[in-house]
A and B are shown apart, each in its own frame.
Chain A
Amino acid sequence: MEDRKLLQIKDLKISFAYGQNRIQVVREIDLDVYQGEIVGILGESGSGKTVSSTAILGLVSDGDGRIDGGEIRFKDQDLLKLPERALESIRGKEIAYIFQDPVASLNPYRKVGKQIQEAVKVHGIKVEKEEILKTMEEIGLADAKLIYDMYPFQLSGGQCQRLNIAMAVICKPKLMIADEPTSAIDASLRRKVLNIFRGINEKYGTAIMIITHDFDVARFLCHRVVIMYGGLVMEEGEVRDVLEKPMHPYTVELLKCVNSLNVGESSLYSLEGVPPNPYELKNECPFFERCKQRMDQCNQGIPPMVNGENNRRVRCIQAVSN
């Protein structure tokens, strides 16, 4: 199993400077992506999904961010120890990233077609304009020829999002990280995009790490899912196991929310209380305050990960007794 790991994140810790203080927003992330698999990252808004995945590309330390510890192994190298030059040759070519904010990640002053062409060329990949147009059409940009010569401000949110997707898909990377790639497009395009993801996964063996709030997307596309809360991984396992038999109380609550909308309850189920503020993270389970099944021990230290059958992992002391 070990040698099938394409990406291995170990004990990753990331903090940001706020005035005089540093605040840890990613507290300890362990996460593996196996070759050729599709992993979904779900969880609370602000739990560190984007920050930890941009760390893979070395994009955290640009601002006030700092990686305080851990390891990110890609194939056989630790990305955190690589010089910028070496990282650059990995970015885009071996690991492609589709950013959460599709408009901000495009250069506003350049026509989008040129941008795609240049981005791909930087990675030493030769691609004909025809292929770019074909990919654009495949993901539902019907007027590909026209859009090719337009600027980002002339395009809608969903069109920009799909340009990011096209750029990533064309590179045929080993690993594609997609941060909320379908949040701005309609249901029929969503299906198209997901089918394309599935296609490159099957055809080229591209492993995919997809960050999404959409449980339908996870169910449709992913082999495995990881649930995050408060800068920690709370639960992970095969998609069916986790969505059908959630073990962590947070996952249980999340699925109640999903179900509430699915069945159309007039007042939607939502969790009581607020997520922990990174300013005041305590040495306890981050879900403690909101947990309906909490016990006395739950606020005595961060609960350890418990390994279960079928690659299941749960960060909850209740899981041991269950």
Chain B
Amino acid sequence: MREALLQVENLSKHYVVKKNLISPKILIKAVDNISFDIDHGETLGLIGESGSGKTTTGELILRLIHADTGRVFFQGENVLQMDEKNMRRKRKDIQIIFQQAQETLDPKVTIGEIIAAPLRIYSIVPATEIEAEVDRLLNMVGLTGKDKNKYTYQLSGGQKQRIGIARAIASRPKLVICDEPVSALDVSVQGQILNLLIDLKKELSLTYLFISHDLKVVQHICDRIAVMFKGRIVEMGDKEQIMLNPRNDYTKQLIEAML
């Protein structure tokens, strides 16, 4: 039987923007009444136009921003109504790899500290083993223990992205929201990270919401694909159907534009 780990129902987030004090208000429907499920151990790809609401969707699920309406069930519980204490506990299980790695990594803290923080907060390993676990995580993403004392501004774009990945998997979550996790990586590291994400999925029975613009990558890693356009999910289905037999006009346009 299918068992949903995450169920998103009628989720919406609208913004009101005023160009200046006297101009009329303009409504931006960043996320507009979307619903989808992700099963245990499944990878759902979220693709779509730039600005169509993919990042916002991820942030709503994690409650980094407040939803206007809708429900988000994680293991049957509505996280949007959870109190702060329970939510904090849930955050161990739902992690995110941010699209803007740079913006979300504290520039005043060393890389070793960034990765050790979740290990400590959620008591993932005994204090004496934190050091070794940090090394292990760094190795997994193709960096080494020698990089531990560096600060993020000393890293290249792709290296920062990999720190974000190591931090996200450190707390051994159940669901990882991956927002463009490999778009800053060179092809060899990209392959390595995709293999890693797939291995982790098997080993730790992880589930992914995988946001990406790279259709080849999405095709490789995802089971199902949802396509967003102007805040809505315009098409959703098995990856074969979406890639080979798209129905929606925007999806068709995307697939035709592949280089």
Expressed in whole angstroms, the minimum distance between the Cβ of A236 and any Cβ of chain B is: 17
- Stretch in contact with the other chain, from B75-83, B124-132, B210-218: B210-218
User: Which B residues are in CB contact (< 8 Å) with A184?
Assistant: 50, 99, 180, 183, 213
A18 near B154 with CB under 8 A, answer yes
In Å, the complex CA distance between A184 and B183 comes to 7
Contacts of A260 in B (CB 8 A): 191
The number of residues on chain B lying at the interface, defined by a beta carbon within 8 Å of a beta carbon of chain A, is: 56
Q: Note all chain A residues with C-beta closer than 8 A to B154.
A: 16, 18, 64
Pair B219/A264 contact, Cβ less than 8 Å: yes
Query: Taking A183-B184, A184-B99, A217-B259 as contacts, is the C-beta distance between A261 and B220 under 8 angstroms?
Result: yes
Contact of A43 with B186 at beta-carbon distance under 8 Å, contacts A156-B55, A187-B258, A268-B195 already known = yes
| Interface residue? A204 (CB, 8 A) | no
**Judging by beta carbons under 8 Å apart, are B257 and A104 in contact?**
no
CB-CB under 8 A from A157, the residues of chain B are 50, 55, 99-100, 180
Nearest residue, chain A, Cβ from B184 = A183
Residue of B nearest to A186 (CB): B213
Residues 41 to 65 of chain B near chain A (Cβ within 8 Å): 47-51, 55
User: Taking A46-B159, A157-B99, A279-B146 as contacts, is the C-beta distance between A190 and B259 under 8 angstroms?
Assistant: yes
CB distance from B19 to the nearest CB of A (A): 4
On whether the beta carbons of A188 and B159 are closer than 8 Å, the reply is no
**A50-B156, A146-B26, A149-B20 given; A186·B50 CB < 8 A:** yes
Contact yes or no, B188 A101, CB < 8 A:
no
Kindly state whether residue A28 has any CB partner on chain B within 8 Å. Answer: no
Q: Quick check: B216 and A159 within 8 Å, CB to CB?
A: no
B86 at the interface (CB under 8 A from A): no
CB–CB A191/B158 < 8 A: no
Within 8 A of A (CB), among B138-164: 142-144, 146-147, 150, 153-159
B156 and A158 form a contact (CB under 8 A): no
Chain A residue nearest to B217 (CB atoms) is: A261
CB within 8 Å for A187 and B156 given contacts A150-B17, A270-B192: no
Chain B nearest CB from A258 CB (Å) reads 5
Knowing A63-B153, A254-B188 are in contact, say whether A159-B50 is a contact too (CB < 8 A).
Answer: yes
Contact A158 B158 (CB under 8 A): no
> With A45-B189, A261-B187 known to touch, is A186 a contact of B259 (CB < 8 Å)?
no
- Measured in the bound complex, the distance between the Cα atoms of B79 and A12 in whole Å is 53
B194 contacts partner chain A, Cβ-Cβ < 8 Å: yes
Q: Using Cβ atoms and an 8 Å threshold, which residues of chain A touch B142? A: 274
- A100 close to B (CB within 8 Å): yes
Specify the chain A residue showing the minimal Cβ separation from B253: A188
User: Out of B100, B158, B191, which one reaches A46, CB within 8 Å?
Assistant: B158
Chain B stretch 13-51: residues in CB contact (< 8 A) with chain A: 15, 17, 19-20, 26, 28, 47-51
Chain B hits for A77, CB < 8 A: none
**CB <8 Å contact, A270 and B195:** yes
- B221 (CB) vs chain A CBs: closest residue: A268
Q: B51–A158 contact, CB under 8 A?
A: yes
Q: Measured between alpha carbons, how far is A104 from B152 in the docked complex, in Å?
A: 14
Measured between beta carbons, the chain A residues less than 8 angstroms from B84 are none
The answer to whether A44 touches B186 (Cβ under 8 A) is yes
Jot down 17 A-B pairs with beta carbons below 8 A, ordered by A.
Answer: A16-B154, A100-B157, A146-B19, A146-B28, A149-B17, A154-B17, A157-B99, A187-B255, A187-B258, A190-B213, A191-B257, A213-B186, A213-B190, A257-B188, A260-B191, A268-B195, A270-B191
A residues neighboring B (CB under 8 Å): 16, 18, 42-46, 49-51, 63-64, 100-101, 103-104, 140, 146, 149-150, 154-159, 161-162, 180, 183-191, 213, 215-217, 219-220, 253-254, 257-258, 260-262, 264, 267-271, 274, 277, 279
Residue ranges of B at the interface with A (Cβ–Cβ < 8 Å): 15, 17, 19-20, 26, 28, 47-51, 55, 99-100, 102-103, 142-144, 146-147, 150, 153-159, 180, 183-192, 194-195, 198, 213, 215-217, 219-220, 253-259
List 17 other contacts, CB 8 Å, given A183-B180, A277-B146.
A18-B150, A104-B102, A186-B50, A186-B213, A187-B254, A187-B257, A188-B253, A191-B259, A213-B185, A213-B187, A253-B188, A261-B216, A261-B217, A264-B220, A270-B191, A270-B195, A274-B143
